[in-house]
Amino acid sequence: MAAPVVDSNYLKEIEKARRDLRALISSNNCAPLMLRLAWHDAGTYDAKKKTGGPNGSIRNDHELKHSANRGLKTAVEFCEEVKKRHPKITYADLYQLAGVVAVEVTGGPTIDFVPGRKDSMESPEEGRLPDANQGARHLRDIFYRMGLSDKDIVALSGGHTLGKAHPERSGFEGAWTKEPLKFDNSYFQELLKTDSNLLKLSTDKALVDDPKFRRYVELYAKDEDAFFRDYAASHRKLSELGFISPSRLGLKVAVGVVIAATMVILGYYYEVQRKIHLSDWTLPKNKFHL
């Protein structure tokens, strides 16, 4: 599918959709669900294959039926209400905008949002999302495949400050924090407690057990500003995997034009120098024959 034309009208629709999402998320207390939708649509990206990513494909029935996506049909249906009012907006943009709004309305950081993602009907194979029963190596395999870093892994894991695990969806039950509708750094504080009775999955424990991960856990547990700053940056990276924004595309085109022009100039310069060089060789021969 073609990318949307991100003109002034499209940007106006994005802002209207943002307002509608704020109202919808607040009235339904569904911020954790919307954040999960955004993550799961984006988290299938494969940097080498250039497939998956935030392209709206999670709305496809067969992708929604992937075991990791259980329960997300409700989020897709919520977004459909907004889509009907703003049909110009792509599903890919809508789902990522919903994730951004979910963080903001629960007290989290403001995340830069750049629209222009195109929709896809091609869903990736099942198994690209993190498995909560695994450890540090698995987390790196999944996130490195996307092109993300250790810091991104820990910062994004902090999103578990929102929501609860539901047995009918994941097989796990419980909340990671005492206030599951408030976005803060309490997830990391709870991770470092040895006597916490809140939920800790294998992937959560790996963040404490692995020394490279743990340094970020300790930083974010004591410095919420640092967590908010890094989370906002990592969330944006996740939401833009495989996506070239119109502004960046324009820059790439401009750079391409400059390079092409430079090559033409260099080619002309080379040709002039070649002719001068040839004339220098022929001049002595003429003098010799005189």
Cα 87–chain centre separation: 23
Task: Tell me the one-letter amino acid at 172.
Answer: F
Q: What is the DSSP letter of 88?
A: T
3-state DSSP of 191-240: HCCCCCCCCCCHHHHHHHHCHHHHHHHHHHHHCHHHHHHHHHHHHHHHHC
C-alpha–C-alpha distance, residues 39 and 69, integer Å: 10
Angle of helix 211-222 relative to helix 224-239, nearest 10 degrees, comes to: 120
Question: Catalytic one among 40, 66, 86, 160?
Answer: 40
C-alpha–C-alpha distance, residues 274 and 260, integer Å: 21
Burial of 236 (0-12, 13-18, 19+ CB in 10 A): middle
DSSP-derived 3-state class of residue 174: strand
Catalytic site includes residue 40: yes
Residues noted as catalytic: 40
